[in-house]
Structure 1
């Protein structure tokens, strides 16, 4: 079954599980309707939803039978938010950098089953949806394909959750993202990574991920002194695109990043120290940068409380984000929380990343675009999601304040609709 057929089957399951609301016609009175792709606002609009999709947007209420009307006439109404870089099933008790005597990603493998990871993934999915994030791209570290079952549970209607794109196991040269594991411990990284050191191994790894339910592909390169060549990544791009999947590559800078850009990947993840030359190349090649600038407080966790190093890194990340925006690279908002942030749940930890965008002085309307329009384009779903427009899925949220003037307004979402179903309606 190719990716398109897989999507059709999952859509059928969603429709079947939502049969109760199929015959319902819902209207929303939107006081101020925001179109993130243009940063325009329309006043006093009526939105009609049938069978999970938008069927009308306009000034006047159509002459049809309306089953339910939601009055959001005093709110800013916009399409659901998106996050392009999550690890919903992962939560290290502390960031691994705190104790360098432990392997980079070894600890969770010995204490958590895939089923426990799936439950965490479901919990975080629900939390993000209730906060207005209706589409999520999860880029790996999910144990033995935990996110496949999270997606199935949501599609079957057992739980409410966002639309999920998930990578399965991350494909990397030997060792994943770990280093210097004692041989006696075996290939522990293989719970979350697929070793791929030849073109045939790369193709097989992609096919294995697709077989077990992944609907995007992710590669890691540059974390070792050995890394994928341009031709290696080109093989991965061709294999993924032939199956109808987009491909993301984790890379920070230098030759590993350049190889990925030239090979035609859909996105570079992080690129935290990327040079202006490579950023210009990304713009020229139309590769999207999924920006995951770690906030200072998160860097403190990484450095075990060393505030000076944490601040230094945060300033470097802000500078890179400024440069990328100035050059004109298309940016997508991503978080990268795979660890426990003290006294914060996942959505609260994710909001910390928003601060870095404002510190980089990215305009609020551009941040909103990076959380909606650009991610829909990255995922190649812009004809289905990311706009409030006829034939789009009714993924709709409402805020009391204008996010085009202060992006922090998204932290107080009071209404969430997912494919026509109201998830949250807080007066």
Structure 2
């Protein structure tokens, strides 16, 4: 049986299935529809969404009514195969169609789009602003978008995920489905000509249903304010970065890129870096020494809580894969940071942050190989050091030294961990055992 309807407004169709005729097709005119499929009694069935050579299947066991949202009949037609009628020879059903009438219906997501293969298309053809409205219909829904730069030129863009709250997670992948970066509301990014990217939108919690979001890709046309200029291979030729400004750049085989920024007043700053791939090392250099040199990066992230005195600073980016003849795009930004947090660099004993029994220090492991050292002089012979974090998936490795002697090592997981320390001169070393994103934690002395 095939159900095909030419109506453009809301409508209902009815039919029946039997043991010998237990499947039917659902088609209608192009448009985005919500469906409610109701059977006379409980059945088990499979829906096949068919698009060109792609078939995406979903099974439903022992149910009577199913609601589907935002189904794109311009892209899919559906086959319903009922494989268990629960012993009943004949069952009636009906399907209610509700056409979406949103003003943005022409740029709405296409459901189902739950994996890379059936991602909704998002095609860039010129320097216009592109946007698309989607929604997560429940806490387990995941939306994928295929972003195609269909031009013959690279496009420096700001990728924005506009949401009503912070319950959304957005991740950008390359055409091979390798992670590029998390998208925290805004991501400056260069979409390369004739390349494909994927964007994954999902829910962080189950506290909401049917909340919409908007994806906006805004090309930057005033490139002189945002792009790297070659040559910038030495300190003398370094491109200038203003505080809180994002710069796009490219690095190729044997290339080195220098940037410079001016700190007019001592304070806390952070350097944010993102790229389509990571054959990079980064250095932060000043007239009075290096903060870190040739730090190898494996993913997007930031160097946070840098206490920088007044002066001129240089950032050096280096391509560490010298034998690979490729060009990689990246973005870099220097911005103000909070003074209430950990002070970087504190990656070795000589630069350990010192804190007191009155401090409740907020800190983070910002990179895969970031290490944080802390020193505290205690008054009592026995003390509780409390380290806490909220991330349920990350694990910190904590090493304790007393009077320069290694005492113990333990894993820090979600929640609060109390460490009983015997001794007064305590050095604490923290690192990550399974880094996948920035790990924020607290450290203090307990009662």
TM interval, short-chain normalised: under 0.3
Highest RCO, 1 vs 2 (Cα 8 Å, sep ≥ 6): 1
Structure number with bigger Rg: 2
Calculate the TM-score normalised by the size of structure 1: 0.24
Structure (1 or 2) with the greater strand fraction: 2
Calculate the TM-score normalised by the size of structure 2: 0.23
Structure (1 or 2) with the greater helix fraction: 1
